[in-house]
Amino acid sequence: LYTAPDSCEGRCGEPLSEGDECHCHAECGRHHSCCEDYARHCQPGGFSRSRDSITDQELLELSEQLYGLDHNKARPSDVAINPQHRAAPGETGLQQDLSPQPLYRYVNEELFSKPTYSSFIKLLDNYQRATGREEEVTVEELREQENFLEEVMGTELMKKLFAFLHEKNRYSSEQEFLEDLKEMWFGLYSRGDGEQDSSGFEHVFSGEVKKGKVSGFHNWIRFYLLEKQGIVNYLSHNFDGPWDTFPDVLGLQFSWDGFHKEVGSAFIGSSPEFEFGLYTLCFLARPGRACHLSLGGHSLSIQTYPWTKSTYGSGRRFIATAYVMSP
């Protein structure tokens, strides 16, 4: 049961929002704003039941629960960052190094020996970063994908997410959820001229270069490892979240082998399963729209977009991008 911005599939009874392309609330008829498939899905006997929609309140409550279940996140003593220069709105596109020191002062690399971290890190070098270049997936890389998914699905955090989605009739079994995660995140599609050159995982976590600019690349572990090698150069930040523990949120500017990222964003100090789980939740619940969550009593939003030019299964969408929004 995927939701889509222009469909009522999985959205019946969802609150009216001006930001939505069309609506699936019982009042939409009066406002002449119903999605075309409102009657098919939401009228009596329709495919999607209103009790299976995911409410804004449920997203706030579930995200707090997932935040509490991120047992593998960094402790305050595990990570020390040095944000340095805070860029004004007019400075984010300057491509100037306004922060001469690295972003990361210290990371306790013992974190990376935890199973979800180590299996995640093995995936990062599986991709050609340039769009337009066909990805060649080896048997070993497929095994690494399976291993990562197996490790994250073994965590309390992902089991809680599955239980919620199961209750909402999105998936009938954990195996069905696992298979769909594999497709939505690792399934290949073309950002170029027909080459199978991209996937949601590559874009969000590993990063890509498109038309001379960094595209995606929203992961703190990837950033730290490349900065340590001298491949990434931190320039400045435009947002530092209000959290006094991890995961924190940082909006940042950087260059990757000379390719510029004008405004990026990343959770800092979160486990791979935490990001993977939150992005998945928001992609299923609010694709193409802001997904409003709560972490440790602080509000934040995640934006996801589905890839609209190709599908898998019975019309399901791949993940085009997902990132935490920085004001």
The greatest distance separating any two alpha carbons of the chain, rounded to the nearest whole angstrom, comes to: 62
Which residues of the chain are under the pLDDT cut of 50? 1-2, 45-48
Per the annotation, the verdict on 298 as an active-site residue is no
Catalytic residue among 23, 203, 210, 237: 203
CB 304 within 8 A of CB 286: yes
pLDDT of residue 52: 78
* Helical axes 174-186 vs 272-285, angle rounded to 10°: 90
Helices 139-153 and 156-167, axial angle in degrees (round to 10): 80
- Point out the catalytic residue in the list 25, 73, 210, 261: 261
Question: What does pTM read for this prediction?
Answer: 0.87
Reference 196, options 206, 186, 205, 204; nearest CA is: 186
Tell me: cis bond preceding 247? Omega within 30 of 0 counts: yes
Model pLDDT for residues 107-128, shown as the tens digit of each residue: 999 999 999 999 999 999 999 9
Amino acid at 279: Y
pLDDT per residue as tens digits for the range 267-290? 999 999 999 999 999 999 998 889
Instruction: Output the pLDDT for position 5.
Output: 73
For residue 218, indicate whether it is catalytic. yes
Q: Which amino acid is at 311?
A: T
Q: Which CATH number fits domain 1-43: 1.10.10.10, 4.10.410.20, 3.30.470.20, 3.10.50.40?
A: 4.10.410.20
CA distances from 121 to 8, 93, 97, 274 (A): 37, 30, 27, 15
Encoded tokens for 89: 């709105």
pLDDT confidence of residue 313? 87
Residue spans per domain, the chain: 1-43, 56-325
Q: Which of 218, 260, 298, 309 is an active site residue? A: 218
The reported pLDDT for the residue numbered 226 is 98
Quote the pLDDT of residue 308: 85
Render 192-239 in DSSP notation, one character per residue.
Answer: SSS---B-HHIIIII-EEETTEEE---BHHHHHHHHHTT-EEEEEEEE
High-pLDDT (> 90) share of the chain, %: 76
Identify whether 203 is a catalytic site residue: yes
The C-alpha atoms of residue 5 and residue 304 are separated, in whole angstroms, by: 11
Q: Which secondary-structure segment (H or E) carries 88?
A: none
Span 211-253, pLDDT tens digits:
999 999 999 999 999 999 999 999 999 999 999 999 999 999 9
Rounded to whole angstroms, the Cα distance separating 124 from 253 reads 21
